Amino acid sequence: MKLSIVVPVYNEEKTINSILDLVEEELEKLTCIDGYELVVIDDCSSDDSKDVLEKRIRQKNNYTLLSHKMNSGKGAAIRTGIGVTTGDIVLIQDADLEYDPKDYATLLHPFVEGKADVVYGSRFKGEVSRVLYFWHYMGNRFLTFLSNMFTNLNLTDMETCYKAFRGDIIRNMTLTSNRFGIEPEMTAKIAKIRDVRIYEVPISYFGRTYEEGKKINWKDGVSAIWSILKFNIFTDRKRSFRADFNPF
């Protein structure tokens, strides 16, 4: 099983080397995979993120570095990265240090057992979590609740970064969101697949403050509400996947 890790990056010069060190360390430990690739997308960072990445990748194998000429958002970076993946499983990894690659084994376990097509890592089922903003917590829970109402799923954390997909499913999905609306969009379109097997597993979470570089804000919450309505009500299955794609 080959694993593809997609890493969107925007102004993360202080954390990018640290997170990639942790990713590589964990990938080398995994016995359930026989190969991996890291697809890193610099979303036109205004700091030295791109320079740091270029220096690192000259010294490493299994990397693909892609760059946007203008800042387009996390969703756009994820879409760019997914488009060049070749792995049997595709996993999303943020470039900050909020999510711990030590959870990869947990995320991949349902795939290894042949039980899952999609796996979400839930911050609300995990054992270790940094205590931060109450209204962020309530916002996440509300957005997950609203998404669940339309998808008829019982997720606890729709907005999680840690999402892993069967490669053929995510590469055939017609994603359009540029910013954080990518999370409800992927969830809505996954739910449109008949008999899709979705698992949720506990992960740890070490959230950042705004002073430490957190980027999401209330405007993204409003946008997420619109995305939930748009992709669940106004987007049918024919527009969710490539016309010739039949997963099951």
Residue 225 has pLDDT above 50, yes or no: yes
DSSP string, 4-40: EEEEEESS-TTTHHHHHHHHHHHHHH-SS-SEEEEEE
Residue 211 has pLDDT above 90, yes or no: no
* Mean of per-residue pLDDT scores for the chain: 89
pLDDT in tens, 49-86: 999 999 998 888 899 999 999 999 999 999 999 999 99
pLDDT in tens, 156-181: 999 999 999 999 999 999 999 998 89
Domains along the sequence of the chain with CATH: 2-239 (3.90.550.10)
Which residues touch 143 (CB under 8 Å, ≥6 apart)?
158, 159, 184, 221, 224, 225, 228
- Burial call 23-60: b when 16+ CB within 10 Å, e when fewer: bbebbeebeebeebbbbbbbbbbeeebbebbeebbeee
Q: What was the pLDDT predicted at 130?
A: 55
Q: How confident is the model at residue 210 (pLDDT cuts 50, 70, 90)?
A: very low
pTM: 0.90
Considering the chain, what percentage of its residues have pLDDT values greater than 90? Answer: 71
Q: What was the pLDDT predicted at 237?
A: 73
Q: How confident is the model at residue 140 (pLDDT cuts 50, 70, 90)?
A: confident
